[in-house]
Amino acid sequence: MTLLDVKELFVNYGPLVAVQGISFQVRKGQVVSLLGSNGAGKTTTLRAISGTITLVGGKVTGGSISFDGQEITKVPPHRRVRMGISLVPEGRKIFHRLTVYENLVVGGYTSKDLEDRLEFVYQLFPILKERRNQIAGSLSGGEQQMLAIARGLMSNPKLLLLDEPSLGLAPRVVDVLYDAISKINEEGTTVLVVEQHVKKALTHSHYIYVIQTGRIIASGEPKEVLSMDMVKAYLG
């Protein structure tokens, strides 16, 4: 069953066309990765899906986005959260002056089972429970990324959008995060991840899309995509 359906999507920042008519689908229960170099349009695509593109001066100028059978192209971001879409942005974007617990509570403002969600994320990332009263800005980079993902999970999303979750982190921490992503998916959450760590994406995804200068240039299951000469050259 298709959970997310993006058709002929165009996104502009003023006169600049950042995404040029891309189409792709994410099936319910999958982990899907969107791969590509810097500036390819990956982050812009996630912002368009979450509705936050307007907050950074962008605009969907063509195409459509459907989620769980509903057209959402013009639905505001807060309503998309309530529908079941949660974005964990690049660079973490946690509330540095709030405690770990307060960050999580903010993330769960739409949740009807706040305590259950807290227990879920504490089991996923035990260090956050240990440090729940600590100021978030004092956490390490890896712990801040764990907090960002946990905050995104507090709304109990159907679709979790992850933008560069491994960026700037040590390999050991990246392993922990991707183990958590697998557990999140096993619990029933569909995941769409933008990633430059190609090996991790190929290992942990059910399906791959490769984007170049705002266009999808290849797609398929990980082994299939990895065997494509043009993809090998592009991704290095």
Question: How confident is the model over 67-100, as pLDDT tens digits?
Answer: 999 999 999 999 999 999 999 999 888 999 999 9
Domain 1-84+196-236 class, CATH top level: alpha beta
By the 8 A CB rule, do 193 and 187 touch? Answer: no
For the chain, the domains span: 1-84+196-236
pLDDT in tens, 140-179: 999 999 999 999 999 999 999 999 999 889 999 999 999 9
177 Cβ contact partners less than 8 Å away, ≥ 6 residues apart? 142, 145, 146, 149, 165, 166, 169
> Which pLDDT band, with edges at 50, 70 and 90, does 50 fall under?
very high
CA distances from 107 to 148, 156, 172 (A): 9, 10, 26
Quote the distance between the C-alpha of residue 2 and its chain's center: 17
pLDDT at position 110 is 83
What is the predicted pLDDT for the residue at 198? 84
Q: What is the DSSP letter of 218?
A: E
Q: Do the bridges between strand 58-67 and strand 2-13 make them parallel or antiparallel, or are there none, so unpaired?
A: antiparallel
